[in-house]
């Protein structure tokens, strides 16, 4: 509970009673990951979820052809969680790996459940879950229905920090295109400026 400035960003103090915030903050632990460390590993059960304070991470799967495909990127204030594994205690199907050094706040499932009686805490969780679902659904439809250039421009608009800090090959797999196609799109955009 050394530095609650970041957690205050996540749990807006105006929405909580002072005692509730102290209880919530006491259940989170600050943790650091080095570049390439795993936050979540495929085949394991997720016992923690994390709020990213700083750094970049990504989730990915290996497809049937052995290709590494990025499924999501995480940066400051994002929640890093495998929803199914964390709540249903199933094995994770994705990996979440640090792209850079990361600082995060973790909470175990047991400690999470201790907080569930706090209505404002439940509301923050519900809102995060719904937003996560909409983001996933929007991305899934976009990969099928939108041109590659539009997908890239949308990522550039909504998550410029990801575009500036994540390797292009990983961005390309997330967008469902080759890194050669992504390079061509980026050149075309630069030439039109």
Q: Does domain 5-139 have CATH number 3.40.50.970?
A: no
CA 86 to chain centre: 14
Residue 32 is encoded by which pair of tokens? 């650091």
Residue-wise pLDDT for 139-150, tens only, equals 999 999 999 999
Binning pLDDT at 50, 70 and 90, where does residue 1 land?
very low
pLDDT digits over 93-136, tens only?
999 999 999 999 999 999 999 998 999 998 988 998 899 899 99
* Domain ranges (residues) in the chain: 5-139, 146-193
Share of the chain above pLDDT 70, in %: 98
Residue 170 has pLDDT above 60, yes or no: yes
What is the rounded CA–CA span in Å between residue 32 and residue 39?
10
Name which of 125, 35, 31 is nearest 86 in CA terms.
Answer: 125
Instruction: Order the strands of the 38-40 sheet from edge to edge.
Output: 38-40, 95-98, 57-62, 68-74
CA-angle at 71, arms to 162 and 74, nearest 5°:
40
Q: How confident is the model at residue 192, as a pLDDT?
A: 85
């Amino acid at each position: 509970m050394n530095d609650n400035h970041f957690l205050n960003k996540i749990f807006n103090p105006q929405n909580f009673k002072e005692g509730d915030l102290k209880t919530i903050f006491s259940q989170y632990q600050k943790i650091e990951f080095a570049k390439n460390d795993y936050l979540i590993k495929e085949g394991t059960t997720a016992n923690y979820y994390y709020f990213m304070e700083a750094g970049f991470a990504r989730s990915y799967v290996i497809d049937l052809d052995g290709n590494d495909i990025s499924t999501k990127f995480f940066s400051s204030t994002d929640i890093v969680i495998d929803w199914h594994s964390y709540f249903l205690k199933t094995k994770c199907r994705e990996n979440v790996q640090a792209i850079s050094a990361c600082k995060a706040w973790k909470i175990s499932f047991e400690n999470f459940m201790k907080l569930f009686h706090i209505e404002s805490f439940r509301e923050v969780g519900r809102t995060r879950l719904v937003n996560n679902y909409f983001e996933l659904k929007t991305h899934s439809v976009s990969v099928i229905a939108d041109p590659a250039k539009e997908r890239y421009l949308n990522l550039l608009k909504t998550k410029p920090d990801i575009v500036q800090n994540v390797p292009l090959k990983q961005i390309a797999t997330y967008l469902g295109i080759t890194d050669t196609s992504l390079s061509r799109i980026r050149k075309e955009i630069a030439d039109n400026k």
